[in-house]
Structure 1
Amino acid sequence: MNNLYKHKYRIPSARLQSWDYGTNGAYFVTICTHDRHPFFGKVQNGEMQLNAAGMIAAEIWQRIPDQFPYVILDAFVIMPNHMHGLLYINNNPSTDAIHRVSVSAQANPGASSDHPIGGITGGKNPMLHENLSRIIRWYKGRTTFEIRQCKDAINRVFTDHFAWQSRFHDHIVRTDDSFLRIQAYILNNPLQWSEDRFYS
């Protein structure tokens, strides 16, 4: 297919190609709303005032460790048109639910050899890999569903059209100094909103 379209319609990945995003470590994530619409509320006097959609976005971010037990959350902030979060992946394959299902299926003599573990994509199936993209895909999907179901009468028409930007930004945190600097940036983001590159 790449030869057929000569890469004309291929969107290059924003991820660092040489890095395994399932690797244990700290990650700084930024996710923007579609067209940077201020779906989540507004900043007043240096403090973020979350509306109903913003509260949902914050609540679901905090639910990530329930869905992905190998994730440890640190600082995060919901801003009017984006969110920042620091998270740490501490992956232990021996307690991984997907791993247990895979081992169980491999031990099943009735499994079809035509469809190996992971379906026709085999081991390349992204749903078999515990990594940052899978975490963010779940977060974006869950928030989109719940925000669109939001019964906030004032913002109902607004939330019906809620959407995230198709991709997200990430930064692999490699040093303690970098971690502390990013943590401070996140916590102070509302105070510096007028100078933020996402300000509109």
Structure 2
Amino acid sequence: MADKYQNKYRIPTARHPHWDYGTNGAYFITICTENRQCFLGKCENGKMKLSTVGAIAQGFWYEIPKHFPFVELGEFVVMPNHIHGVLILNKNGFDENIIDSIDNIIDPVETRQCLVSTTEHVSTNNDDKTIGQKRFRNQGKNTVSSIIGSYKSICTKHIHATFPSMNFEWQTRFWDNIIRDDEAFNTISQYIINNPLNWEGDKFFGEEIKPE
């Protein structure tokens, strides 16, 4: 996996609220199901057995570069109640005005409701807002937030269409981590690969909350 990073996305030290999540770089993404419910499959003997819902989640993740051609996918795994994946944004040579977006085939209002995990309180004075705060309600096109919001929305629509009686939802927010160098990239990639093997020690193991 090191050849995917090769220090070409080295990130300067920056606090998350001041980071533009539309910037070239590698991002470690974690998305949980609502209430950590195990809709996505079962992990047995260190291997995932995907449910139909999990297969839908997996399939649409691999579709991301078709709609956002400046995105390259790193390692990815579907776990019983969450997914982990690496998105690599490289917009060099792309005209953002003509980049296709999966938003074209889903409800953009629903997409905007997915807020990045690093969002903070929004100032009433627009001039005082950080980059992250300005994206609180307007994520901008072709950012990590808009990509993940689109992904979550299209998955949910297809899952609800396939299982109308299933109360499937993603957790409202998601976790992101800016990958700053090759060492971090390789460590995170191995973590994702080994996640099924380490499921019982995972922080999300046994966290399922039964709806009342």
The reply to whether TM is greater than 0.5 is yes
Q: Distance in 2 between matches of 1:128 and 1:193?
A: 35
CA deviations on 1:68-102 (whole Å, 9 max, x unpaired) are 111000100000000000110012475223589xx
Q: Which ranges in structure 2 are unaligned for 5 or more consecutive residues?
A: 1-14, 101-133, 207-212
Counterpart of 1:179, as a letter, is F
Aligned equivalent of 1:182, options 176, 188, 193 = 188
- In structure 1, the residue matched to 2:155 is 143
Q: Which ranges in structure 1 are unaligned for 5 or more consecutive residues?
A: 1-14, 101-122
The answer (yes or no) to whether the contact 2:72–2:89 under 8 Å persists in 1 is yes
- In structure 2, the residue matched to 1:170 is 176
TM-score normalized with structure 2 length: 0.69
C-alpha spacing 1:24/1:194, structure 2 compared with 1 (3 Å): same
The answer (yes or no) to whether the contact 2:85–2:192 under 8 Å persists in 1 is yes
- In structure 1, the residue matched to 2:103 is none
Instruction: Looking at secondary structure, tell me which structure has more helix per residue.
Output: 1
TM-score normalized with structure 1 length: 0.73
SS at match of 2:198: helix
- In structure 1, the residue matched to 2:202 is 196
For residues 123-134 of structure 1, the aligned pairs below 5 Å read: 126=138, 128-134=140-146
Identity over the aligned pairs, expressed in percent? 46
- The RMSD of aligned alpha carbons is 2.2
**Rg comparison, structure with higher value:** 1
- In structure 2, the residue matched to 1:23 is 23
Q: Distance in 2 between matches of 1:97 and 1:127?
A: 16
Q: How many residues align?
A: 158
